[in-house]
Amino acid sequence: MKKSILICLVAAIFFACKNKPNAQETSTGYTITGTIKGLSSGTVKIVEEGNRDRSKLKTINSTEIANGEFKLTGKVEHPDMVSLVINDKSSSFFLENSPIEITINWSDGKENDWRFNSTVSGSKTHDEYTKIDQEAKAVFKDPKYKVLDSLRNLVIAAKKSKNQKDMDKVSALQKELRPLMLEQSERYTSTKFNYAKANPSSPVAVHILGFQYSEGRMSKDQLKEYYNLFTGDARKTSFFKNYITKVYKDNFENLGVGNTAPDFTLKNLENNNLTLSKINAKYKLVDFWASWCVPCRNSFPHLKELRKEYKNDGFEIIGIGTADVEEKWRKAIKEDQTPWLHVFDTSPVKNGRASYGAIAKAYGVPHLPTTFLVDANNTIVLRNPTKEELDAKLKELFGH
């Protein structure tokens, strides 16, 4: 009798263990339950992130809003940050295979704002991202750096007044506070870098690093280091595949030093065609800029000096206006009296904002200004050089 009871108990335990589902089996997919205050109808879409050309972003799922509520179900292979798009506005969250609740107050924010705020619960990956993101941003609330907020307000006021004394005062204060600004920036970025290094396979790490991964914010060595750092699910994220990989390949494989710059034909100030390869110069500086870009226009006085120094030796500058409105582009050229060749990269304008034109996209322009020094065969000699690097290279090439 006792033996029979023992056999039954063992059998019961065996079948209980055998039939107990593992973690993956219990996670059959995601269920997103959404509530929107202030909006009763419309279309909800889940869209991948990581591609600056939003027309190429993949829609993962979609449904209709009914009485201010919506529900989406599906399954993903790995957690990833996505955009929740509602009537051309969006908000980001981490999608994973779990029950997720999203609450939105549609009346929050400005009417013409393209973002909306949302509260997300049920996604552990999203909770982890929020935690680390807040840790990084906490540095900006440190009372030690409050003086930098005052500086920003002074800069805005000086620009509005256009008073030279105010501008001089701000310039001197910026120089004085520069060490403090660098310290704040270092603390902010180190949080991101340290998390990425400690969690190389995490999709969260990719998005915590985010647009910090760019040639304007990282050295060439860092771009290589962090591209090769990520493993596993981190490399499967849309941001890694669409953005980080593109930045890496642009810098080291497609549009780096030694590669051939894409040829182009654009309209100049007289509405005549100008082709890069047909410009008679030994070395050409291709400069992407916009009328609204302060660093772009601040670089022009020095570029004037370089052109004056090397023009007769075979040096030319080709300014490509992009992400701009043509009338404003023409006005800026007239104001700045820039004597080099100018062409306009026709830029799509939506809601009053212009985006990069086709040539800027072909060159993988990451930010403005972006410059390429190319030779007579359009071979890239320098990519986004600093002022000092450009000066040294031209002196080397022309011998003075």
- Taking the mean position of all CA atoms in its chain, how far away is CA 242? 11
Give the Cα separation of 44 and 88 in Å (integer).
9
What is the phi/psi pair of residue 274, to 5°? -130, 125
Residue range 314-367, pLDDT digits in tens = 999 999 999 999 999 999 999 999 999 999 998 777 766 788 999 999 999 988
Q: Outline where DSSP puts E strands in 189-246.
A: none
Give the Cα separation of 194 and 189 in Å (integer).
8
| Average pLDDT value for the chain | 89
Q: What is the DSSP letter of 338?
A: -
Residue written as tokens 């690093």?
Answer: 209
Residue range 207-245, pLDDT digits in tens = 999 999 998 899 999 999 999 999 999 999 999 999 999
Residue range 209-219, pLDDT digits in tens = 999 999 889 99
Instruction: Name residue 102's beta-bridge partners.
Output: 34, 120
Q: Tokens in use for 150?
A: 């005052």
Residue 50 — very low, low, confident or very high, per pLDDT cuts 50/70/90?
Answer: confident
Q: Which helix (H) or strand (E) holds 374?
A: strand 370-375
Q: What is the DSSP letter of 359?
A: H
Give the Cα separation of 115 and 123 in Å (integer).
20
Residue pair 285/296 in contact by the 8 Å Cβ criterion: no
Residue pair 95/82 in contact by the 8 Å Cβ criterion: yes
Residue pair 96/74 in contact by the 8 Å Cβ criterion: no
Q: Which domains are present in the chain?
A: 25-122 (2.60.40.10), 139-254 (no CATH), 265-398 (3.40.30.10)
DSSP string, 66-95: ETTEEEEEE--SS-EEEEEEETTEEEEEEE
Residue 162 — very low, low, confident or very high, per pLDDT cuts 50/70/90?
Answer: confident
User: How confident is the model at residue 22, as a pLDDT?
Assistant: 40
User: How confident is the model at residue 354, as a pLDDT?
Assistant: 84
Give the Cα separation of 161 and 166 in Å (integer).
8
- Taking the mean position of all CA atoms in its chain, how far away is CA 162? 31
Residue range 267-314, pLDDT digits in tens = 999 999 999 999 999 999 999 999 999 899 999 999 999 999 999 999
DSSP string, 292-322: T-HHHHHTHHHHHHHHHHHGGGTEEEEEEE-
Give the 3-state secondary structure of residue 153. helix
Q: Taking the model in full, what pTM does it have?
A: 0.80
What is the phi/psi pair of residue 341, to 5°? -75, 135
